[in-house]
């Protein structure tokens, strides 16, 4: 059985990583236009670096939770039949043991060179970073996908979503495209669709089944 699991910030919430749109979420304290658009970065790179540097540091203080671990166990069972498509920029799927993970919105622990496109692993602060280690030019930016930019690996994701038998979305609000459109794409391609979320999302009506509750309980239950 080919399975695609789309994950969002909710799967990492119980690890202590802040979501975006929930109460107390990242967008409550920041204007999206300022910290998550290329225009915001051009306007005030220091503000944007501070935002991502703080989140990169916070990532060192948290670890995967039972939901991440259950998906790693599912990969043990299904191998190449499972693909995790995550919108998250944290590395908690990998730290739980998952290997087949696509980070469609990039990775906090990488930088990206605006000149040559290199994506070096990066654990230090990016504010005051040296030039690109690959080409020695230009500024490094966080390797994340901002509004108006094209997410990573869309062809691979499209093939997996249209070819799967089961599509599961975990902890995502369905507010951001193209990820929010994948349930409709999977359904129109004949897959069964299941949503796991603390509460119904903006796209719940497109799923065959919706289970509400914390991911750290629902995902292990699904995989058992």
Beta carbon nearer to ligand BJW, 162 or 165: 162
Asked whether position 14 contacts ligand BJW by CB under 6 A, the answer is: yes
Which of residues 3, 4, 6, 13 is near ligand BJW by CB under 6 A? 13
Residues between 123 and 182 with contacts to ligand BJW, criterion CB under 6 A? 144-151, 154, 171-173, 175-178
Which residue number has the CB closest to ligand BJW? 10
CA dist., res. 20 & res. 185, Å (int): 24
Please identify which of the residues 49, 68, 103, 105 carries the catalytic annotation: 105
Q: Is 19 annotated as a binding residue?
A: yes
Which of residues 20, 41, 167, 207 is near ligand BJW by CB under 6 A? 20
Which of residues 22, 34, 81, 208 is near ligand BJW by CB under 6 A? 22
For Cα atoms 49, 180, 78, give the angle at the middle one, nearest 5 degrees: 95
Minimal distance in Å, beta carbon 187 to ligand BJW? 17
Which of residues 46, 153, 199, 209 is near ligand BJW by CB under 6 A? 199
CA dist., res. 141 & res. 49, Å (int): 8
Which of residues 3, 4, 5, 9 is near ligand BJW by CB under 6 A? 9
Minimal distance in Å, beta carbon 136 to ligand BJW? 26
CA dist., res. 143 & res. 152, Å (int): 11
Minimal distance in Å, beta carbon 210 to ligand BJW? 11
CB 8 within 8 A of CB 87: yes
Q: Is 40 annotated as a binding residue?
A: no
CB 90 within 8 A of CB 58: no
Catalytically active residues are: 105
Question: Which residues are annotated as part of the binding site for substrate?
Answer: 52, 55
Positions that interact with ligand BJW (CB under 6 A): 8-10, 13-14, 19-22, 25, 36, 87, 89, 105, 144-151, 154, 171-173, 175-178, 197-199, 201, 214-215
């Amino acid at each position: 059985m080919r399975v695609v699991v789309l994950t969002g910030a909710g799967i990492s919430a119980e690890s202590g990583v802040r979501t975006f749109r929930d109460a107390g979420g990242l967008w409550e304290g920041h204007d999206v236009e300022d910290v998550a658009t290329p225009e915001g970065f051009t306007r005030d790179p220091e503000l944007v670096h501070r935002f991502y540097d703080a989140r990169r540091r916070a990532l060192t203080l948290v670890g995967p939770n039972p939901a991440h671990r259950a998906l790693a166990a599912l990969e043990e069972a299904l191998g190449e039949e499972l693909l995790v498509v995550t919108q998250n920029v944290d590395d908690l799927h990998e730290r739980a043991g998952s290997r087949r993970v696509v980070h469609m919105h990039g990775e906090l622990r990488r930088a990206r060179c605006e000149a040559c496109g290199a994506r070096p692993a990066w654990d230090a602060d990016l504010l005051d970073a040296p030039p690109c280690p690959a080409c020695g030019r230009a500024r490094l930016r966080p390797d994340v996908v901002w509004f108006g930019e094209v997410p990573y690996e869309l062809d691979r994701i499209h093939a997996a979503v249209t070819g799967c038998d089961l599509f599961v979305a975990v902890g995502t609000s369905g507010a951001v495209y193209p990820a929010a459109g994948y349930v409709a794409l999977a359904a129109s391609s004949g897959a069964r669709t299941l949503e796991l979320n603390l509460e119904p999302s903006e796209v719940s009506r497109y799923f065959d089944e919706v289970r509400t509750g914390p991911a750290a309980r629902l995902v292990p239950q699904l995989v058992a």
